[in-house]
Amino acid sequence: MTETLLEVTGLVAGHGRKQVLHGIDLRVEAGEIVTLMGHNGAGKTTAIRSVLGAVRPRGGSIAIGGRDTTRDPVRRIVAAGTALIPSERFVFPDLSVHDNLMLGAANAPAGSDREERLATVQQLFPILQERAGQLAGSFSGGQQRMVSLAMALMARPRLLLLDEPSLGLAPSVVETIFGRLRELADTERLGILLLEQNVKQALQIADRAYVLRSGSMILEESAELMRQRADYWDLF
């Protein structure tokens, strides 16, 4: 029996006067990688920030792990096992890698041992141990992405929200990172919601796909069917 980690129903959200999402539904099960696609400005980032509690929904509901979290503050949602990696400025550039990783666990669920977690995470990305004292801002884009992913994992999340992790990275680096993500979903039964413009690579690891356009969901399909499409221009 699959556990529904994330259930979004009729989500309406925006910032200031801007209404970005006009009522969307989506679902992520444990062990699943779901990709949310769409052009820039379609509302993907607003969607995951609403899930995290960083944006207050104006309508609809969000449930994480079966519990209604629509009005919960970020601290509580993070402490309960959700982590978000933003698309830009996703590390603390003037802090060391070690500091960055420890900050990832700043609000970890009670009972997690940070040192143990650090060791696990450093095994996943060995470069982090080698360069623990180096400032995160001095790393290359791909390495910074790894730092940000490691930060998210430090908090032992059950639900991982990733905003365009492939942005600005070489395809080989993206493959490595995406490979790790698939491993995590399979072995640790994480639920991953992946926001991507890089449709092809996202579909390599995804189970299901949603397409958002100008704030409305226009498609939900299995990744297999998506992969078989000739092109994706009409979705953007």
Partner 1 sequence: MWVNYLDQALLMAALAVSVNLLVGYAGQVSVAHAAFAGIGGYTIASLAGKHEWPFLLALVAAVLFAAAVGTLIGLIALGLPEEFLILMTMAFSLALIGVFATFESLGGIMGITGISGLSLFGFELDGPRDWLVPCAVTLVLVFAICHRIGESPYGRVLKGVREDVVVTQALGKNAFAYKVGIFAITSGLAGLVGGVYSGWLGQATPSAFSFPLAMTVFAMVIVGGNANLFGSVLAGVALTMIEPALRVGLGVASTDAALVQLVLYGALLVLVMILRPQGLLAERFRHVEVPDVDPVVPARTTPREPAAYDAAEVVLRAEHLSKRYGGIVAAKDISLELRRGTITALVGPNGAGKTTAFNLLTGVAVPDTGSVTLNGRELVGLRPDRIVSAGLVRTFQDVRLLNRLTCLENVMLAVPHQEGERLDALFRPGRGIAQADRAVAEQAMEWLAFVGMAGEANTPVDALSYGQTKMVNIARTLATQADVLLLDEPASGVDSMWLDRMVSLVADTRAAGRTICLVEHNLEVVRELADHTYFMELGEITAAGTVDELTSSARLAEAYFGAQ
Partner 2 sequence: MQSLLDAELLQLSLDGAIRGLLYAALGAGLALVIGVTTRFHFAYALTYTVAPYAAYGAFDSLGVPFWPALGLGLLAAVVLSVVLEAGIYAPVAARAGDRAMLAVLVTSIGISTAGVALLQLLMGTGSLPFYDPSATPTYHQVGDVLTSDFALYEAATALALVVGLALLLARTGLGRSIKAVRSNPVLAGTLGISIRRVNLACFAVAGLISGACALWYGLINTVSPTMGDSIVIYGFVVAFLAGTRSSPLRALPVGLAVGLLEQYASIWLSLQWTQTTVFVVLAVYLAVLAGRSRWPKVTLRRPLVQPQVKEA
Q: How far is the CB of 197 from partner 2 (least distance, A)?
A: 21
Q: Among 103, 134, 168, 173, indicate the residue that binds partner 1 (CB under 8 A).
A: 168
Cα–Cα distance list, 206 to 2, 27, 152 (Å): 16, 13, 19
What are the residues whose beta carbons fall under 8 Å from the beta carbon of 156, sequence distance 6 or more?
81, 108, 109, 112, 117
Nearer to partner 1, 18 or 89 (CB): 18
- The DSSP code for 14 is E
Among 192, 80, 89, CA closest to 147: 89
Q: How far is the CB of 149 from partner 1 (least distance, A)?
A: 18
What is the distance between the alpha carbons of residues 51 and 177, in angstroms, rounded to a whole number?
23
Q: Can residue 180 be called a binding residue for partner 1 (CB under 8 A)?
A: no
Q: How far is the CB of 120 from partner 1 (least distance, A)?
A: 30
What is the distance between the alpha carbons of residues 157 and 112, in angstroms, rounded to a whole number?
11
Say if CB 64 and CB 5 are below 8 A apart: yes
Q: Can residue 16 be called a binding residue for partner 1 (CB under 8 A)?
A: yes
What is the distance between the alpha carbons of residues 196 and 201, in angstroms, rounded to a whole number?
9
Nearer to partner 1, 72 or 164 (CB): 164
Nearer to partner 2, 100 or 201 (CB): 100
Enumerate binding residues for partner 2 (CB under 8 A): 52, 54, 74-75, 77-79, 84, 86, 89-95, 99, 102-104, 106-107, 151, 155
Q: How many residues bind partner 1 (CB under 8 A)?
A: 31
Residues 198-217 that bind partner 1 (CB under 8 A): 198-202, 213-216
Among all chains, which residue has been given the structure tokens 């297999």? 224
What is the distance between the alpha carbons of residues 193 and 225, in angstroms, rounded to a whole number?
18
Q: How far is the CB of 93 from partner 2 (least distance, A)?
A: 7
Q: How far is the CB of 92 from partner 2 (least distance, A)?
A: 4
Residues that bind partner 1 (CB under 8 A): 14, 16-20, 22, 39-42, 164, 166-168, 171, 196-202, 213-216, 231-233, 236
